[in-house]
Amino acid sequence: MDPQEIKRLQFDKTPAGGWTSLYDYVYDPPSVLSPELFLLLIALCLGLLWLMRRWTSPALFRGCLTIGVLLVLWEAVPTLGLLNPIFFPPPTTVLDTLAVHWSRGWLSTHVLASFQRFAVAFGLAIGIGVPVGFLLSVSSRLWGYVGSVLYCVRSIPPPAWLPIIVLWMGAGNPAAIFVVFLGAFFPIMIGTVDGFKKVDPVQVETIRTFGGNRFDVFWEVHVPTSLPDIVVGIRVGLGIGWMMLVAAELAVSRLGTGVGWMITHARIWYDSAVILGGMGIIGVMGLLVDLVLRRALARWADLPRA
């Protein structure tokens, strides 16, 4: 496609309100990593893992080998002209473009904004979901009143809330945070209810027989029994909440920051490098958040550290 035609398409898509200073289309970004050096680095990393195979797990080497092969194929397909590099740029072009965004402070701002929104929403989901789940599990009368309502609301997919939430709260941070909260709250709450309902009455009576009070019963019986289910609910809520964060940033137009918002504006500019780079950043961010959560919770629940 002719470069002038690309510019015409891009500027025809420019919104009337103008552009924020946190995004701009980068023409011919300076090369940070040449294709030859990129392939050499992949080969060196795989070779180093092979030499250290005695001290690393086979699964790690196989996973890195798969990633390396995919990156080589990704670099080769547009470079050889099998696909249009404008719409499917090679990873070296993606890295060059993201390096420009990072040097200008845009990328770090978007990443930090996404983390902040998720931290607030996920923290609220845990802080509200666990106590509510505990209250519902110990009070059968309360569960009878609100249990069916909660399950009915839970069956509504979180993205379906976006239109009405935007109408109620506006197209800004509160709407995005609330949608992420909804996505994470119900798995955490349901996991807490299921966990506390698994408490064995025999164990409770044993603690009371030996003179234990309500706190002893709660700490010695309820917490150890329910914690694995709570951890599972938190991890499920983490995954759903993270997906809702991206969906909210893609849909809520007035955020001005966030990786999902960056992807949306890159789409308007036909900026495939930023779109693919943003998708990769979202995947890495989600992996890091899940890894940190797993390691933080592994000491209290029977959960592998991988």
DSSP 8-class letter at 258: S
Residue 81 — pLDDT band, cuts 50, 70, 90?
Answer: confident
* pLDDT exceeds cutoff 50 at 206: yes
Q: Where are the domains of the chain?
A: 31-88, 106-297
| Residue pLDDT, tens place only, 213-262 | 777 777 777 777 788 888 889 989 998 999 899 888 888 767 788 898 89
CA distance 23 to 264: 11
Q: State the pLDDT at residue 253.
A: 64
Q: State the pLDDT at residue 303.
A: 47
CA distance 257 to 272: 18
- Under 8 Å CB-to-CB from 214, ≥6 apart: which residues? none
| Residue scoring higher pLDDT (207 or 267) | 267
* pLDDT exceeds cutoff 60 at 18: no
Residue 16 — pLDDT band, cuts 50, 70, 90?
Answer: very low
* pLDDT exceeds cutoff 80 at 302: no
CA distance 215 to 177: 34
- Under 8 Å CB-to-CB from 302, ≥6 apart: which residues? 228
Which candidate, 66, 68, 77, places its Cα nearest to that of 38?
A: 68
Q: How far from 137 is each of 23, 24, 156, 217, 230, CA to CA, in Å?
A: 48, 52, 22, 15, 13
Q: Which CATH number fits domain 106-297: 1.10.443.10, 3.50.50.60, 1.10.3720.10, 2.102.10.10?
A: 1.10.3720.10
pTM of the model: 0.78
